[in-house]
């Protein structure tokens, strides 16, 4: 039996993705241990959720550092001290220095609200609507130095409805984001998913295209 996966979480906002992971753990659906929730915002909701759950937290203010690079290295030193197996970016709204994250490649994932490689960066719902897309979605990917450019593990797709606006689209997508992230973390916790020098492997076989979240399960 595998030991619980040790997870550190980085979040800047309300923490809904972290809350979904925490709820899945409490339902015994995720064999994980949260070793740290860290944020660049002292008022981040994710910190409050972690504190209520008895999970260690850390607040590191970028304004305390002369350079972005200095902040990123200090942040990752703080994370490394907790010895996580996996680092989850759950709404962490900062671009991370490539050298600082290099040791974490293959051990860090991010949830992004678009069907990557479409719409890297911000305002993804607005951009999908403006482009007249028929569908939108979310992606979980391994983090590399390229912004939202790391290998995509899995995606969930949502049809765009007539009359959708930015807020409505975001609200409908969010529950699917939560399900997708929990499903991917479950694969990693089970030892089924890994990222080597250039390829993602699932059950020892190369993953040629992102998994798709469909009817409550991940399919090839």
Burial class (CB in 10 A: 0-12, 13-18, 19+), 115: buried
User: 108-112 and 217-219: which strand pairing?
Assistant: unpaired
- What's the CA angle centered on 43, arms 115 and 52, to 5 degrees? 90
Establish whether 178 is a catalytic residue.
no
| Beta bridge partner(s), residue 109 | 88, 142
Orientation of helix 45-52 relative to helix 16-26, angle to 10°: 20
Query: Do 17 and 111 form a contact (C-beta atoms < 8 A)?
Result: yes
Assign 9 to helix, strand or coil: strand
Instruction: Write out the two tokens for 142.
Output: 């391994």
User: 152-159 and 211-214: which strand pairing?
Assistant: parallel
Q: Which residue carries 């929730």 as its tokens?
A: 37
Instruction: Write out the two tokens for 144.
Output: 């590399």
Catalytic residue, from 112, 136, 141, 178: name it: 112
Q: Which residues are catalytic?
A: 112
């Amino acid at each position: 039996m595998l030991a619980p996966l040790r997870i550190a979480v980085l979040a800047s906002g309300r923490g809904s993705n972290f809350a979904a992971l925490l709820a899945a753990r409490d339902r015994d659906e995720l064999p994980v241990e949260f070793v740290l929730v860290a944020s660049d915002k002292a008022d981040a909701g994710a910190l409050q959720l972690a504190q209520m759950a008895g999970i260690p937290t850390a607040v590191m203010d970028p304004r305390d550092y002369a350079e972005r690079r200095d902040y990123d290295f200090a942040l990752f030193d703080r994370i490394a001290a907790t010895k996580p197996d996996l680092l989850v970016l759950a709404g962490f709204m900062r671009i991370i220095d490539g050298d600082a994250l290099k040791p974490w490649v293959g051990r860090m994932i991010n949830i992004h609200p678009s069907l990557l490689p479409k719409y890297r960066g911000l305002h993804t719902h607005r951009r999908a609507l403006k482009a007249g897309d028929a569908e939108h979605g979310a992606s979980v990917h391994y983090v590399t130095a390229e912004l939202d450019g790391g290998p995509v593990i899995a995606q969930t797709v949502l049809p765009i409805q007539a009359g959708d606006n930015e807020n409505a689209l975001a609200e409908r997508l969010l529950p699917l984001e939560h399900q997708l992230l929990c499903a991917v973390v479950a694969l990693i916790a089970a030892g089924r998913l890994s990222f080597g020098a250039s390829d993602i492997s699932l059950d020892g076989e190369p993953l040629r295209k992102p998994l798709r979240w469909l009817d409550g399960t991940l399919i090839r």
